[in-house]
Structure 1
Amino acid sequence: MTTIESTTSADRLTFFVDGQWTKPHGTEVHEAIEAATGEVIGTAALADEHDIDRAVRAARNALDSGPWGRTTPTERAAVMRRFATALAKRSAEASTLVSRENGMPIGLSEAFNGGAPAGLLEMYAQMIDGTEIESVRPAALGATIVRREPVGVVAAITPWNYPLALAMSKIAPALAMGCTIVLKPSPDTALDSYIFADAAEEAGLPAGVLNIVLAGREAGAALVSHPGVDKVAFTGSTEAGRIIGAECGRLIRRCTLELGGKSASIFLEDGDISAFQAGLSATSFQNNSQTCTTQSRILAPRSRYDEVVDAVASYAAGLVVGNPLDPAVTCGPMANDRQLQRVLGYIEAGRDSDARLVAGGGRPSTVGDRGWFVEPTVFADVDNNNVIAREEIFGPVMAVIPFDSEEEAIRIANDSNYGLAGSVWTADEDRGIDIGRRIRTGTFGVNYYSTDLAAPFGGMKDSGIGREFGPEALENYTEYKSVYVSADRLQS
């Protein structure tokens, strides 16, 4: 393993609330640990309920009394573009910091944490620039003015795996629609989200429009149930999503939930094995498989089963495990020790089953004792009822499952509590598209898989409620109001 020495240490002991850096109410702090070394790289304050209340009140005031609530779409677009420019200046810093925090290979981090946040701001600024918030329709007794208004104060709760991209997937459309935001990032990536605050200050984002408070579960629960919050946007585990969704239901509060997955990649008998193997980087092993769209169930026809197993096993064995700051590394560590132990537990469950281990299966010997590394692991002859085929592992553990017919492959792919992603590999694109239409999943690829930020993204079943990305995401942050007026308005 190439040794990459850490050169910086960052502490974030204040919160960004109401446009200012404010001291926490309590004294609890969180140590940020570098995934590849196990060393402390910084310390961050953790919020309590008092801090959450202060942030929500700031967001509410900025919406109801501040200038943000009176801005036009064009004015908001100008602010968002300045915000994007300020973030772009910090892209290298953001990419490196996230890779140190969660183990994401640096090239991927440069795309998702360095480039994507500014790109999303630019995309949504372009969508709203010059748009009208009111339209007039004829009605039976006159006319109706239909208004698009901001949903209000948004609680954005984000995970550690793609921290900046997923945070901006909520912030950008919320800003575009005139909402204000309280962002609660995961303590497992405690430091990087404050880069947003630095950029917001430079861009002149009005006070209270974006507030950032790092917090654990108790304070996060206080944010979800705070009476000043109008909408919750959450990305994370299905277990946490159930709790948040139940609370939002109790409060009659809007929410979007982007949750877990256990997706299937279907290789058909006419598929190109070379293209399939090359696509594994995106379908199954992206970000060390710490990705909700990971297609960890690989379905192969018995006529080519051994060929598919060999392709997946050789790909996994060929991944370069090491420090994610090294551009040659293709598989970094797990984000934390808790996640490492979870993955190792599933590997043991696979060993204890009737499945056949064909690659990996433990800790790599090439990286020493430091860091939270695990070998990319592949099991063959897996039954779809096996725990490693049913539960989201969130690590590089693949299950290859045989099938006898196309109908059986579709049945196995749909036999899951989740429905977030998937792919099919075939020489007949029309056949692949037809299969994609029959799989109960929110996104699907034919001979490749790549999330399109300009198209809606989200899941079915236990994978969530609602859609992010694309113009559809604006609806998450929009309230419609109908004002009934005289027919004279039709002429104006």
Structure 2
Amino acid sequence: MSDVIKLISPVDGSVFAERPVASAAEIDQAVAEARAAQAAWAATPLSERCSAVLAAVAALEAMNDEIVPELAWQMGRPVRYGGEKGGTRERTDYMVKIAEESLRARHHTDRPGFTRYVRPEPLGIVMVIAPWNYPFMTAINTIVPALIAGNVVILKHAAQTLLVGERLDKAFKAAGLPKGVFRNIVLNHGQTEALLGSGRIDHINFTGSVAGGRAIEKAAAGTFATLGLELGGKDPAYVREDADVAFAVENLADGAFYNSGQCCCGIERVYVHEKHYDAVVEGLAAAASAYTLGNPLDEATTLGPMAQARFAAHVREQTAEALRKGARALVDRARFPQDKEGTPYLMPQVLVDVDHQMSVMREESFGPVVGVMKVRSDEEAIALMNDSPYGLTASIWTADEEAAIAIGDRVETGTIFMNRCDYLDPALVWTGVKDTGKGAALSEIGYLSLTRPKSFHLRARS
């Protein structure tokens, strides 16, 4: 069992930060303080809870000039993209906006002489196990509505983004949250599993791999803690015969390669009507070739390293397997001399002549590679989109909204996009099917996931 968590920077392989894991006494103290604080926090007026959350986000925004280069050092995103301030603000503002309506009691007035209503109650202690790829926004998805709903939060952030947990802790302290309402804690895997299995956590939210989700579910078995699990993805896109090809290519390239492909709902496979196939693959290859791979601290860099060398190695092996099985790579490796074996610096790639016997078309890549297949009909595209163990999002590129809805009705996924991809709308629930996991984040449904219903059945006696 490691006593220290080390953050190895993908920029140069150096140890960018290291922190000791919490002691058993510190873990017990964190849970005890959270439990002691929860009732008073839940009794705090909703308007004050909302104001505290808004103040914390404002405190984060004030740190943004420091946060942006920190993110580059921690997980490789180029500084030119400016961090996650916009998405964090958008999601927080929306959840504050709908809080009163989402958390109000639902009254039933059809029986005179009775007062009958259902009121959402906070679950208690919510533990957020956050990932490194969008380390602020993914954490905020649960932290903000959990706190607004009257829960207290313990955050365990990914080792790759240790400093994000500290930034969030600092922001909530600056907002004046009472002791125990929000706590960042450094744990290793064994400590995390032990805490989840202790029965002291009421709700667990985890974003990460399918294997990680299974470990979380196993650790919490028998505790009856509720779970929110956003796990793997292999998100498809379908370019129909009536699509605006130039618009589709521009957006699909961004959806496939932004953040070095390390996006939960990034585009990993594209199915194109035969009419547009040549134009789409040429456009995607040209877009990929135009990226500048390099040090994310350089303003000229548009594609940084992947977060870890082993992640890049996984994508390289998927690509190599596809090539061995007959696929062709359209992007010239000579264009990217920074791409070196054994490093996290990985070029973007477009693969054609692919099929579903290749892992790059069925298993999660989570890197800057996309496979493109030709189809002849909606039916063929639907069958291929559904031929996956995952289901987070799917995008349809078309001028026909009715067709998009009809196709979307048959695609096994959590979100259907038309003429858009790789975006999370806080007004729409974020959820998935199959191995992508279970649970719901954001929107009014996200509040339901972080509360329990309590019924009041009151009879008047005259």
Q: Same fold (TM over 0.5)?
A: yes
The partner residue of 2:116 within 127, 132, 144 is 144
The partner residue of 1:84 within 57, 64, 71 is 57
Matched, 1:127 2:84: no
Partner SS state of residue 155, structure 2: strand
Structure 2 CA distance for partners of 1:208 and 1:277, relative to 1, 3 Å: same
Partner SS state of residue 300, structure 1: strand
- Aligned residue identity for 1:98: L
Q: CA deviation at 1:171?
A: 0.4
Give the aligned partner of residue 376 of structure 2.
Answer: 404
Give the aligned partner of residue 21 of structure 1.
Answer: none
Query: In the TM superposition, what whole-angstrom CA distance separates every residue of 1:273-315 from its partner, at most 9, and x where no partner exists?
Result: 2111210244211211011212211112233323222222222
Query: In the TM superposition, what whole-angstrom CA distance separates every residue of 1:339-367 from its partner, at most 9, and x where no partner exists?
Result: 12222222222222121222256993147
- Aligned residue identity for 2:425: D
Give the aligned partner of residue 36 of structure 1.
Answer: 11
Q: Distance in 2 between matches of 1:363 and 1:207?
A: 53
Matched, 1:115 2:90: no
Give the aligned partner of residue 56 of structure 1.
Answer: 31
Q: Distance in 2 between matches of 1:107 and 1:432?
A: 34
Partner SS state of residue 299, structure 1: strand
Give the aligned partner of residue 312 of structure 1.
Answer: 284
Partner SS state of residue 325, structure 1: coil
Q: Distance in 1 between matches of 2:2 and 2:430?
A: 38
Q: Distance in 2 between matches of 1:367 and 1:262?
A: 24
Query: In the TM superposition, what whole-angstrom CA distance separates every residue of 1:181-232 from its partner, at most 9, and x where no partner exists?
Result: 1101000111122111111111111100111112221122123222211111
**TM-score, normalised by the number of residues in structure 2:** 0.92
Structure 2 CA distance for partners of 1:135 and 1:459, relative to 1, 3 Å: closer
Q: Distance in 1 between matches of 2:318 and 2:25?
A: 39
Equivalent pairs counted in the alignment come to 460
Matched, 1:160 2:135: no
- Aligned residue identity for 1:420: L
User: What is the identity percentage for the equivalent residue pairs of Structure 1 and Structure 2?
Assistant: 32
The partner residue of 1:102 within 75, 93, 103 is 75
Deviates more, 1:445-454 or 1:404-413: 445-454
Contact 2:397–2:419 (CA under 8 A) maintained in structure 1: yes
Q: Distance in 1 between matches of 2:70 and 2:278?
A: 41
Give the aligned partner of residue 481 of structure 1.
Answer: 454
Q: Distance in 1 between matches of 2:312 and 2:159?
A: 17
Q: CA deviation at 1:240?
A: 1.1
Q: Distance in 1 between matches of 2:226 and 2:335?
A: 43
Q: Distance in 1 between matches of 2:360 and 2:277?
A: 19
Give the aligned partner of residue 21 of structure 2.
Answer: 46
Q: Distance in 2 between matches of 1:221 and 1:43?
A: 21
Q: Distance in 2 between matches of 1:462 and 1:367?
A: 31
Q: Distance in 2 between matches of 1:370 and 1:345?
A: 12
Structure 2 CA distance for partners of 1:301 and 1:336, relative to 1, 3 Å: same
Deviates more, 1:479-488 or 1:122-131: 122-131
The partner residue of 1:225 within 178, 182, 197 is 197
Q: Distance in 2 between matches of 1:222 and 1:193?
A: 20
Give the aligned partner of residue 15 of structure 1.
Answer: none
The partner residue of 1:196 within 161, 164, 168 is 168
Q: Distance in 2 between matches of 1:189 and 1:383?
A: 35
Structure 2 CA distance for partners of 1:227 and 1:109, relative to 1, 3 Å: farther
**TM-score, normalised by the number of residues in structure 1:** 0.87
Partner SS state of residue 345, structure 2: coil
Matched, 1:378 2:350: yes
Give the aligned partner of residue 434 of structure 2.
Answer: 461
Contact 1:59–1:181 (CA under 8 A) maintained in structure 2: yes
Q: Distance in 2 between matches of 1:379 and 1:227?
A: 47
Contact 2:75–2:160 (CA under 8 A) maintained in structure 1: yes
- Aligned residue identity for 1:126: K
Q: Distance in 1 between matches of 2:224 and 2:118?
A: 23
The partner residue of 2:187 within 215, 222, 230 is 215
Q: CA deviation at 1:103?
A: 1.0
Query: In the TM superposition, what whole-angstrom CA distance separates every residue of 1:441-469 from its partner, at most 9, and x where no partner exists?
Result: 11122122232122211211111112212
Structure 2 CA distance for partners of 1:63 and 1:362, relative to 1, 3 Å: farther
Partner SS state of residue 399, structure 1: strand
Q: Distance in 2 between matches of 1:372 and 1:236?
A: 19
The partner residue of 1:471 within 439, 444, 447 is 444
Q: Where does the alignment leave 5 or more consecutive residues of structure 2 unmatched?
A: none
Deviates more, 1:43-52 or 1:157-166: 43-52
Deviates more, 1:463-472 or 1:406-415: 463-472
Give the aligned partner of residue 320 of structure 2.
Answer: 348
Contact 2:391–2:434 (CA under 8 A) maintained in structure 1: yes
Structure 2 CA distance for partners of 1:305 and 1:116, relative to 1, 3 Å: closer
Q: CA deviation at 1:247?
A: 4.1
Q: Distance in 2 between matches of 1:362 and 1:237?
A: 32
Partner SS state of residue 192, structure 1: helix
- Aligned residue identity for 1:483: F
Q: Distance in 2 between matches of 1:362 and 1:442?
A: 39
Q: CA deviation at 1:406?
A: 1.5
Contact 2:123–2:451 (CA under 8 A) maintained in structure 1: yes
Partner SS state of residue 227, structure 2: strand
Q: Distance in 2 between matches of 1:370 and 1:134?
A: 56
Partner SS state of residue 359, structure 1: coil
Over aligned residue pairs, what C-alpha RMSD do you find? Answer: 2.5
The partner residue of 1:72 within 34, 42, 45 is 45
Give the aligned partner of residue 156 of structure 2.
Answer: 184
Contact 1:32–1:191 (CA under 8 A) maintained in structure 2: no
Structure 2 CA distance for partners of 1:370 and 1:414, relative to 1, 3 Å: closer
Give the aligned partner of residue 209 of structure 2.
Answer: 237
Query: In the TM superposition, what whole-angstrom CA distance separates every residue of 1:138-172 from its partner, at most 9, and x where no partner exists?
Result: 47683324222101100111111001111111100
Q: Distance in 2 between matches of 1:360 and 1:399?
A: 16
- Aligned residue identity for 1:231: H
